[in-house]
Chains A and B, each alone.
Chain A
Amino acid sequence: MPDQESIVTLDPRDESDPGQAVVATRPATLNGKIIGLFSNNKPHSEILLRMIADVIKERYDISGVVEHNKGGHQWPAQPSDLTALAQQCDVAIHATAE
């Protein structure tokens, strides 16, 4: 029979402190910047990223675009990919599109 007395139970969730995520500093303008497009290899992600780059080009006088593909959507980006991207561009956009 269920206990009708006061009952104490435990919490099944993760209660650890996840820490603070740090957002990268944003530039004041995209004028003169190199834009990185970082695809996750989904079928239309590169198409979407290029469309976004075209919109940015209309609004800002950017100095270039570089493209990277992380080679598969099911795994996180390799640190070497991120390092290469950071060396080649000022800002990066990541996108997925089926």
Chain B
Amino acid sequence: MNVNDIIASHHQFANWDEAQEYYLDQGLTDGLPIVLPTPRKVQAMLDHMGLAPDAIIGTETIRRKSFTAEKLAINAVMAGCKPEYFPAVVTAIAAACERPFNFHASSTSTNGITLMVMVSGPYAQEIGMNAGVELMGNGTRANATIGRAVNLVKTNFYGSVAQEMDNSTFGHAGKFSFCFAENLEVSPWPSLASAKGFGDGASTVTAFAANAPLQVSIYGDQEPETFLTQTAHAMLALGPSVSEAMVVISPEIMAYVGESGWSRQQIQEFLYEKTRRPLQEWLDWKRLDHPAKGTDPQEPRSCFADPGRITVVPGGGMAGAFIDIITSWGSSRSVTREIQTRF
């Protein structure tokens, strides 16, 4: 394959400034300048994975959009990705195209969610992803540009443009980029990839339709019941119909989890049970319009349909007793796929 195989329209400019202004003026960026997607850079991205320009990575069935490798590569270059980051971008888009993710509705809702990317397994370390200090913030190229790339694909290719198809009431900073890795160094458990059945040594991407994170400060003793009760209390504010939550536990708290011997599943079940409240209570707080016919007002209902809707991930810097709660949008379900680095 060579640059002559590329199908996308070519644009010619007199110089770098003129090109940069074109992409900004056309609304083809997230408001920030981009790396100019030259044919040579895009080809390097495709070559890294052995992908043909017209290879279909995924198809979204409502707008009937088929995402091609070439267009993903162009947006990945624009975001500033290195070629070795491209497998994460490709896998995230493929995952988001699966029906449970509900790509279309989650890209248009007033709720203002972002396509968040969480990477589990050795691939994250191989490409220099950050799972520690400031893992969800700024400062790490891999995290910043993978998260930016998938959101540029969403706007430029899919058409979910802010103030046009995307009418988020508030939006949030994660719509520029929201990508991080699981911190396996501080985890007493197998990786999330392994826990989801992808086998030892596998690396995965989880695509998650994410609201802005809610950070819970942890106080008191070191028993899981204490810090998870505080987390559950924060979850109650989210109401009784949260599709999913990703709960990111800082290393300081993970040390207590390790000492206690608690499993991921125990944490999921504890949070599920602790957020159960009588239906009447949700009604009193106006978090439900009306109960279903024939239901007992004293019947308990959790924030979540079942404990499996809660994903627990170790992550963050060594200092700080915090737990982050990231909830997903409406009816969207997260989708996890194994990363394939070569085709």
Contact = CB atoms under 8 A, between A and B. Distances in A.
Interface residues of A, number: 21
A4 B331 contact: no
Given A15-B8, A74-B102, A9 B330 contact: no
Contact of A10 (B37, B64, B331): B37
Interface in A1-51: 2-16, 18, 43
A18 B62 CA distance: 12
A70 to B, nearest CB: 13
Contacts of A8: 10-13, 38-39
Contacts of B17: 2
B42 interface: yes
Contacts of B11: 8-11
B15 interface: yes
Nearest to B66: A16
Contact of A9 (B38, B66, B158): B38
B36 interface: yes
B158 to A, nearest CB: 7
A12 B158 CA distance: 10
A96 to B, nearest CB: 12
A12 B37 contact: yes
A72 interface: yes
Given A2-B17, A72-B331, A74-B331, A10 B12 contact: no
Contact of A43 (B12, B74, B289): B289
Nearest to B6: A10
Interface in B279-337: 289, 330-331
A11 B74 contact: yes
A10 B157 CA distance: 13
Interface of A: 2-16, 18, 43, 72, 74-76
